[in-house]
């Protein structure tokens, strides 16, 4: 997959009254490399509609588009990839369906990270780094020192996620993360584009 620095996930609860496409386009204009559609509440037809619109938007801007959980929707809209958690379809099964598309896997422990790497994940999510209200099925935060361990151990791209804000991202970067993912800090911002630019200016110092 193409390398990336800033990864934004949708979270419509953080921008009531604002359209998802408008918010995600602002994030793209702020420089995000990847957009993920993550929606745990909509019914399939609604999800499919959002996926189609986001596919169109990301194609227009040359940004990578990933769908969370719904491999059928990812295939139907020809997304660039799929993101799966530990409880979702096993990676080997997903690989049979998506072929060469990107597969990202959420991991919370070094054993999970190593397994995903061995099984051919294209990237892994590492988190939640900090406590976050965004993910309902909260596991304990993995902590910044765990990010350091992953940075030392894992060879495929990893993206730090969970409770990452402009005010704490420096210590995540200092621990070795060169790719960051955020939901609420980006899409809940009154200045989505400026927030992305601020994240990127910090991340760019790591390369
Ligand atoms: N996976 C681990 S933490 C998380 C996901 C989807 C939510 C991150 O949201 P926020 O608002 O950036 O803490
Ligand atoms: Mg999932």
Domains of the chain in start order, with CATH, are: 6-205 (3.20.20.70)
Ligand 1 center to 154 CA (angstroms): 21
- CA-CA distance, 178 to 207, in Å (whole number)? 8
CB 42 within 8 A of CB 57: no
Give per-residue pLDDT as tens, 76-108.
Answer: 999 999 999 999 999 999 999 999 999 999 999
Please give the backbone phi and psi of residue 188, each rounded to the nearest 5 degrees, phi first: -90, 0
3-state helix, strand, coil in the chain (%, to 5): 40, 15, 40
- CA-CA distance, 37 to 65, in Å (whole number)? 8
- Predicted ipTM of the assembly: 0.98
Give per-residue pLDDT as tens, 37-67.
Answer: 999 999 999 999 999 999 999 999 999 999 9
Ligand 2 center to 70 CA (angstroms): 8
Residues with CB under 6 A from ligand 1: 9, 106, 127-128, 132, 134-135, 161-164, 182-185
Residue 37 CB partners (closer than 8 Å, separation 6+): 10, 47, 50, 51, 54, 65, 66, 67, 68
């Amino acid at each position: 997959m193409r390398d990336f620095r800033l990864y934004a996930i949708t979270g419509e609860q953080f921008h009531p009254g604002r359209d998802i496409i408008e918010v995600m386009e602002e994030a793209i204009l702020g420089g995000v490399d990847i957009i993920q559609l993550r929606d745990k509440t909509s019914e399939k037809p609604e999800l499919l509609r959002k996926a189609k619109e986001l596919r169109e938007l990301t194609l227009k801007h040359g940004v990578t588009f990933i769908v969370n959980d719904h491999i059928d929707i990812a295939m139907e809209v020809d997304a660039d990839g799929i993101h799966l958690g530990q409880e979702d379809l096993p990676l080997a099964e997903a690989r049979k369906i998506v072929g060469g598309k990107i597969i990202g896997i959420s991991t919370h422990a070094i054993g999970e990270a190593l397994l995903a790497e061995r099984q051919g994940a294209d990237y892994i999510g590492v988190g939640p780094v900090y406590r976050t209200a965004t993910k309902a099925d909260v596991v304990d935060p993995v902590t910044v020192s765990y990010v350091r361990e992953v940075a030392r151990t894992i060879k495929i791209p990893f993206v730090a996620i969970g409770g990452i804000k402009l005010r704490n991202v420096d210590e995540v970067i200092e621990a070795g993360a060169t790719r960051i993912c955020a939901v609420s800090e980006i899409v809940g911002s009154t200045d989505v584009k400026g927030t992305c630019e601020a994240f990127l200016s910090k991340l760019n110092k790591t390369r």
